[in-house]
Structure 1
Amino acid sequence: MTLYIESELLLDSHCRDLNICDPGIDNDYLIISSNDRCSCPKRRAILCKSAHDSCRTSCSSEQILYIKQQNQQNEISINNSPVNVVLLNKDELAHNSEIVYICQNKNLPKIMHEHLNNKLSYTNNCPIDLSLTKTPIGSFLLRHSVLAQSIYGMYLTMQQIKGNCFQLRRRANLGYLLANIVVGFLCSFLLFQNFEFNDSISSEISSQTKQLTIWIKSIIEWLMHAPAGLKLNQPLVDFLARFYFYHIYLWSGYLEALLITVLPHLFQLLFVLCFFGLSIAIGAICDFMRLLTIHLYCFYIYAARLFNWQIHLLISLFRLFCGKKQNPLRNNRLDSHLCDIDQLFIVTLSFTILLFLLPSIFMYYAVFTLIYTVAILTVKIIQYFNEFLLQIPVYELYLWFTGSGVTRGTPKLSINYTYSNQSTVCFNFHFDRVSFVTLYRVCNIRPSLSSLSLTKFLLAILRGRPTF
């Protein structure tokens, strides 16, 4: 038998009539001063300090537990059976209940796990509302707009503050939100102090976009004249070059209209958005960067579609050349197919033509994929930084540096030689301090809105499919 009891109750010299936690697990009993707030099963007991006859008589007549402690020999027994004693500090479980229940409940003794499970049964996690991500418009915005991701991330944070019953997580999410807004206020103050740089920054953005246009034109001209010493199909290269030059012409007009309408008011827009949080302002900057470089995405899509179409044709023609074909009526199963002489001639001729045209198309695809990858990775890095701003661990850092008891998690036992004797072994029960990373993972439970799988990204590039 094992008795878990607060050390102050043993130091008291008076007998006590107690209601102890008794979930009926392995003859373990828990006595804490605040057990009235615990909803686990109770059992009456008398903690007798000097083996009084009145206490023994009451226990035998009323069928309640008789816990005897002899102060001189410090022997403790329950119904005259020897027990092991585990000493708890006062309010030890109450101070550490959340972090232990969330993180380390599997390492607890069964009776303490039952106690915390009953005490914190009302603190189920607040369900995260992801209904917006299931709608077509919401899914599109959250996939392609960093501003929408920032707004939705702040909405999830406020939802956790309002609905999460765990005080630790609620305060952590409140710290995330306040840190984001406070940093946004500081940035709005800096923007207000530097409004005179609006014109210079606008002119710099305009000049850089023009330089980007000139640079892409020079790359297309380089592709037209044997790039890297490769001999490409000149008619196909000229056709693709004219197509991309025309698209650059259209994009120049779109860019001019965008810079005229949006760029003069960019500082004012960022100044207003910073009041709602720095992450929202950064999201607006990312979306503006995507609007400026939308032609890079179009170039990549054109080249990827053409490359993917040609790869699929080459694979299909090679299968026909080998006497196989794909059967879409049987889950794309490969069936045998015998071609006559005319069909085999057409297949061979088409395969040869497409194979010789492949290097010309591949050069355009490789160049524009590289340019687009640099652009999209830049935006993704800003997105991850933006998500970090939504999760600045202010409250966790406060708990960590102040040495709060909430940061204790892993339970430990050590023998207390002062109270132990030949018949009774006493243990000190305490919690080790959890790491800051564990504390942050316990507090931060929101899903990531932007994800980048390197494997899927590379496979999409090799197959000529859109990456994002």
Structure 2
Amino acid sequence: MFTYVIFYDSPVYDCHHFSLQPSNSSKQESSSCKRPKWVDELKQKELSFDLDAVILAINCAAAAKRPIERHLHAKRSPQLSIVARCYSFMWSLLAVSIASLSTLFYIAFQFFYKLHSIGSQLWMSNVVSRIFMATCINVRIRCCQILYWPIILQERGMRSLSNVEYAEKFALQKHSMWTSIAADVLLGNVVGVALLCYADFTCSSISNLARDITNHILRSGCVWLMGVPAGFKLNIELAGVLGIISLNAIQIWSTLWFFFGFIFVYVIKALAILGILFGGTLPAALTSDLISVATCHVSTLHWFISLIYSSQIQALAALWRIFRGQKQNPLRNRIDSYDYTVKQHIVGSLIFTPLLLLLPTTSVFYVFFTILNISISFIRLLIEVIISAIHATPYTKIFLWLVKRKIFPYGIWFEIISCHINSTGSLVRNSSENLDVPTKILEQNEEMIMRKCSVLVSCLHSNLMGIGELVLPHYRNIFSGFSRSILASIFHGVLTGRRTSSTLKVGLPSPMPWMCIPYREYWHLCHDSILACRQLRSCTS
């Protein structure tokens, strides 16, 4: 017969609670030693109780005790003092002010949303939405975050107060949105103020960079490909035609850039003001779209060359099947055997030979513009990953982890304090003693422990999360679009010259449905949310 005595600290809201999740805590490993056999035998036995229910009861009992004590204390307390009434008046004034300001934003957002709904019926608005797709998505996410803050602050019943673990998760979820907005706005103010102070220098630096890229990479590269690139003997006529077309497109775009270059400094200032007002994610998304617009000539030339290259590859593959006595069956999507005539073989040979000889020239131009297009896509992808990381970073959890790590448990473990054996002698294991000696004693006296009545005293501890275990789960959604199948399809599309997506889709917060309620109802919703925060704070203090 065994008697287990477990000591544990009562879970306290905003302090700590217990969790059954697995852990790799270094503290547990350092305090553990070689387990005796009776521990393994104890694990093999069927549990007569549910440990999940026990831990849940510990968390709930400790949380339910606090409202009861507070209610009894409120009955004994005297009437509200002047300080308490002033405190209540300040909260009411704050609720009215924030609700009025939020209602003004709500009216402005509804006005612009109606204008966008009317303009979406025009083809010009659809074209602009497709060009600035990333900006539109981030604007929608930010507007919904601002509109839904009173919904997030609403209480979710007594369950949030009856379970410490649920209360902690609810509080973290509630504060994660406004901390994300605050961090984004802080980052946007830092970048925006720097851009406003150095707008002219930034404009001149970007203009010089664009000029150098155009002259030293695009023009020089096209001229180099028209000659003998890396010693390859190309078709002079085809290389001249493709090079002249590329140079003309680059020249046309450079001329347009020169005429519209005077508004570039105003674009930089608009990005700075947008970052100061709405955070750093919106100007970052707009920068990604502007990069796509500024490199439109490169993407157009890449599309043109890839069209020629893919058509040439498909024609060579079809002609190669003639020599093998095969043909493609598009209805059943398979290769069937077929008997070609002599004339068909001759015609196929006459077409196959020049296409094969012209393939190196087309391939060289295709590789050049593919490298440029992939570089641009990589820059845009990097910006999208940064935007997603800003949205996904749990700023509240990181701050609380730095201040108070106990509110992030990650598994439980038992520390054996002492072990008493009812016999002529007693075996006592203390946590302060050397861990190797008691283990050997327990192993030697295993049969004695199993036969006679023992008392095992242990202490229940909760492991703590590391910063990696806390943050990394939030970043999994960012790289959800990076799978083997998608990367394989992109690589296959690059080799065959087929069009693929310009950038991989990274994980962004799903935009919530647009809120459309009466203005007065939204004001009351904001007002009640602020007062609910006051009640929740008084309940948890």
TM-score, normalised relative to structure 1? 0.67
Aligned counterpart, 2:308: 306
Q: What letter is aligned with 2:351?
A: S
Aligned counterpart, 1:433: 464
Q: What letter is aligned with 2:461?
A: H
Q: What letter is aligned with 1:237?
A: A
Whether the 8 Å CA contact 2:413–2:463 is kept in 1: the answer is yes
Equivalent position to 1:466, from 474, 499, 502: 499
- The answer to whether structure 1 residue 168 and structure 2 residue 156 are counterparts is no
Q: What letter is aligned with 1:264?
A: Y
Deviation at 1:326, TM superposition (A): 0.8
Deviation string, structure 1 residues 33-65 (Cα, Å, up to 9, x no partner): xxxxxxxxxxxxxxxxxxxxxxxxxxxxxxxxx
Aligned counterpart, 1:87: 7
Equivalent position to 2:220, from 218, 224, 232: 218
Q: What letter is aligned with 1:466?
A: R
Q: What letter is aligned with 2:470?
A: L
Deviation string, structure 1 residues 210-230 (Cα, Å, up to 9, x no partner): 333333122212111122222
Q: What letter is aligned with 1:201?
A: T
Whether the 8 Å CA contact 2:228–2:234 is kept in 1: the answer is yes
Deviation at 1:335, TM superposition (A): 0.7
Q: 1:176 to 1:143 in 2, by over 3 A?
A: farther
Cα distance in structure 2, aligned partners of 1:230 and 1:248: 24
Cα distance in structure 2, aligned partners of 1:249 and 1:426: 84
Task: Give the count of matched residue pairs.
Answer: 363
Cα distance in structure 1, aligned partners of 2:171 and 2:185: 21
Please list, as runs of the form range in 1=range in 2, the aligned pairs for 1:266-277 lying within 5 A after superposition. Answer: 266-277=268-279
Q: Give ranges in structure 2 of 5+ residues lacking alignment.
A: 24-49, 62-124, 157-169, 423-452, 503-541
Whether the 8 Å CA contact 2:15–2:404 is kept in 1: the answer is no
Whether the 8 Å CA contact 1:414–1:429 is kept in 2: the answer is yes
Q: 1:441 to 1:241 in 2, by over 3 A?
A: closer
Cα distance in structure 1, aligned partners of 2:58 and 2:14: 9
Greater shift after overlay, 84-93 or 178-187?
84-93
Deviation string, structure 1 residues 266-286 (Cα, Å, up to 9, x no partner): 213422333210121222222
Deviation string, structure 1 residues 193-238 (Cα, Å, up to 9, x no partner): x1xx433433343343333333312221211112222211122112
Aligned counterpart, 1:133: none
Please list, as runs of the form range in 1=range in 2, the aligned pairs for 1:47-58 lying within 5 A after superposition. Answer: none
Deviation string, structure 1 residues 127-172 (Cα, Å, up to 9, x no partner): xxxxxxxxxx99x969974434543554676699755973223333
Equivalent position to 2:289, from 279, 282, 287: 287
- The answer to whether structure 1 residue 401 and structure 2 residue 402 are counterparts is yes
Q: 1:414 to 1:449 in 2, by over 3 A?
A: closer
Whether the 8 Å CA contact 1:169–1:444 is kept in 2: the answer is no
Q: 1:308 to 1:142 in 2, by over 3 A?
A: same
Equivalent position to 1:112, from 40, 54, 57: 54
SS class of match (1:379): helix
Q: What letter is aligned with 1:428?
A: C
Cα distance in structure 1, aligned partners of 2:146 and 2:327: 56
Q: 1:223 to 1:171 in 2, by over 3 A?
A: same
Whether the 8 Å CA contact 1:460–1:466 is kept in 2: the answer is yes
Greater shift after overlay, 341-350 or 390-399?
390-399
Greater shift after overlay, 434-443 or 306-315?
434-443
Aligned counterpart, 1:234: 236
SS class of match (1:466): coil
Cα distance in structure 1, aligned partners of 2:417 and 2:131: 58
The root-mean-square deviation of aligned C-alpha atoms, in Å, is 3.7
Q: 1:253 to 1:238 in 2, by over 3 A?
A: same
Deviation at 1:292, TM superposition (A): 1.4
Whether the 8 Å CA contact 1:396–1:436 is kept in 2: the answer is no
Whether the 8 Å CA contact 1:158–1:173 is kept in 2: the answer is no
- Bigger share in strand: 1
Cα distance in structure 2, aligned partners of 1:305 and 1:326: 21
TM-score, normalised relative to structure 2? 0.58
SS class of match (1:335): strand
Deviation string, structure 1 residues 293-322 (Cα, Å, up to 9, x no partner): 121111221122211111111111111210
Greater shift after overlay, 228-237 or 455-464?
455-464
Q: What letter is aligned with 1:397?
A: I
SS class of match (2:418): coil
Cα distance in structure 1, aligned partners of 2:314 and 2:250: 28
Q: What letter is aligned with 2:410?
A: G
Cα distance in structure 1, aligned partners of 2:145 and 2:479: 12
SS class of match (2:335): strand
Aligned counterpart, 1:151: 139
SS class of match (1:390): helix
Aligned counterpart, 2:373: 372
Cα distance in structure 2, aligned partners of 1:420 and 1:153: 64
SS class of match (2:331): helix
Cα distance in structure 2, aligned partners of 1:383 and 1:399: 27
Whether the 8 Å CA contact 2:234–2:360 is kept in 1: the answer is yes
Deviation at 1:334, TM superposition (A): 0.9
Q: 1:230 to 1:191 in 2, by over 3 A?
A: closer
Q: Percent identity?
A: 21
Cα distance in structure 2, aligned partners of 1:428 and 1:257: 76
Deviation at 1:391, TM superposition (A): 3.5
Q: 1:237 to 1:397 in 2, by over 3 A?
A: same
Whether the 8 Å CA contact 2:185–2:280 is kept in 1: the answer is yes
Aligned counterpart, 2:194: 190
Equivalent position to 1:179, from 178, 183, 190: 183
Whether the 8 Å CA contact 2:11–2:58 is kept in 1: the answer is no
Deviation at 1:457, TM superposition (A): 3.8
Deviation at 1:354, TM superposition (A): 0.9
Q: 1:323 to 1:418 in 2, by over 3 A?
A: closer
Cα distance in structure 1, aligned partners of 2:21 and 2:132: 35
Whether the 8 Å CA contact 1:96–1:409 is kept in 2: the answer is no
Q: 1:443 to 1:243 in 2, by over 3 A?
A: closer
